[in-house]
């Protein structure tokens, strides 16, 4: 898909991509402040993740975004990405999560999750729906799950099921390079969206320092089973489509 946005800035970037870059760079000081307030460490990791991710998103928008306006939808998704990058500072800090840090991790994850439906609603309201925006939103969800799962796994909050919750999407993507039929576009699915919400909500809940260990294990196992089931449904649909 070629973009049709008018206006060129910054070595050929489309006008929406240029604006998104400005918004993203404007959020960078907020990112550093939040990361320092929560973790007091890990700024190189969080900076690298955010700036590299922002550069990639801006370039993809310049190539594939079909609208003239950047839209509040893409700005909200960028804010969500910034919050995920804040959590990456915890990986760089590599320290046990103190109770106050755990509460902060839960709060950041809850805000990122609550904004998940906002960007899509804004895109529909502003008539700015695009494949780029949907993919941007999906990848932020996947990264949020992966970062939360890694933080919790490092802190010993649950067992190997965390690897399922955080890595299932990336395993699926890697498998599509071996079996290209897995890369076929899937139809929209409420089931898939609901399981994604359950997945991230479960990971956020596991960050709560007041959650009993036994309850956390049940939550993690239940969410991981639902996630594997959802992927199995999609893989079965793709396999059937391949055979027809």
Q: What is the mean pLDDT of the segment spanning 221-225? A: 96
* Residues 16, 31 contacting (CB under 8 angstroms): no
The 8 Å CB, 24+ separation contacts for 226-234 are 226/195, 226/198, 226/199, 227/164, 227/165, 227/168, 227/195, 227/199, 228/164, 228/168, 229/195, 230/191, 230/192, 230/195, 231/168, 231/172, 233/191, 234/186, 234/189, 234/192
Three-class SS state of 26: helix
| Residue 83, CB-side half-sphere exposure with 13 Å CA sphere | 24
Q: Is 45 left (phi over 0), alpha (psi -120 to 50) or beta?
A: alpha
Q: Rounded to whole angstroms, how far apart are CA atoms 211 and 209?
A: 6
| Strand pairing category for 13-14 and 8-9 | antiparallel
Tokens of 123: 């895109």
Instruction: Provide the residue ranges of all domains of the chain, joining segments of one domain with +.
Output: 8-158+168-243
pTM exceeding 0.85? yes
pLDDT digits (tens, 9 = 90+) for 67-93: 999 999 999 999 999 999 999 999 877
Under the banding of pLDDT at 50, 70 and 90, the label for residue 94 is low
pLDDT digits (tens, 9 = 90+) for 139-159: 999 999 999 999 998 888 778
Dihedral angle over CA of 56, 57, 60, 66, nearest 10: -170
Class of domain 8-158+168-243 (CATH, top level): mainly alpha
* Residues 80, 115 contacting (CB under 8 angstroms): yes
Q: Rounded to whole angstroms, how far apart are CA atoms 28 and 49?
A: 11
pLDDT reported for residue 134:
93
Give me the phi and psi of 9, to 5 degrees please: -150, 160
pLDDT at 97 over 90: no
pLDDT digits (tens, 9 = 90+) for 122-136: 999 999 999 999 999
pLDDT digits (tens, 9 = 90+) for 161-172: 999 999 999 999
Give me the phi and psi of 32, to 5 degrees please: -65, -40
Q: Report the percentage of the chain scoring pLDDT > 70.
A: 94
Q: Is 5 left (phi over 0), alpha (psi -120 to 50) or beta?
A: beta
Which has more pLDDT, 231 or 1?
A: 231
pLDDT reported for residue 74:
97
| Among the ranges given (41-45, 197-201, 233-237), the one the predictor scored with the smallest mean pLDDT | 41-45
Q: What is the mean pLDDT of the segment spanning 195-207? A: 95
């Amino acid at each position: 898909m070629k973009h049709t946005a008018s206006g060129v800035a910054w070595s050929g970037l489309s006008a929406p991509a240029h604006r998104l870059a400005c918004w993203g760079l404007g959020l960078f000081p907020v990112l550093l402040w939040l990361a320092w307030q929560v973790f007091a460490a890990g700024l190189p990791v969080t900076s690298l993740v955010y700036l590299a991710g922002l550069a990639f998103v801006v370039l993809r928008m310049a190539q594939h975004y079909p609208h003239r306006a950047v839209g509040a939808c893409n700005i909200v998704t960028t804010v969500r990405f910034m919050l995920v990058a804040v959590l990456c500072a915890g990986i760089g800090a590599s320290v046990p999560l103190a109770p106050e840090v755990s509460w902060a991790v839960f709060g950041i994850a809850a805000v990122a999750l609550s904004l998940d439906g906002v960007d899509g609603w804004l895109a529909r309201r502003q008539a700015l729906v695009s494949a780029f925006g949907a993919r941007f939103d999906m990848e932020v969800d996947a990264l949020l799950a992966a970062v939360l799962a890694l933080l919790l796994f490092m802190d010993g909050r649950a067992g190997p099921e965390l690897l399922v919750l955080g890595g299932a999407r990336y395993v699926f993507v890697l498998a599509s390079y071996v079996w290209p039929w897995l890369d076929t576009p899937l139809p929209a699915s409420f089931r898939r969206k609901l399981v994604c919400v359950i997945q991230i909500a479960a990971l956020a809940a596991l960050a709560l320092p007041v959650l009993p260990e036994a309850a956390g294990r049940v939550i993690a196992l239940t969410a991981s089973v639902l996630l594997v089931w959802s992927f199995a449904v999609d893989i079965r649909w793709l396999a059937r489509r391949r055979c027809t």
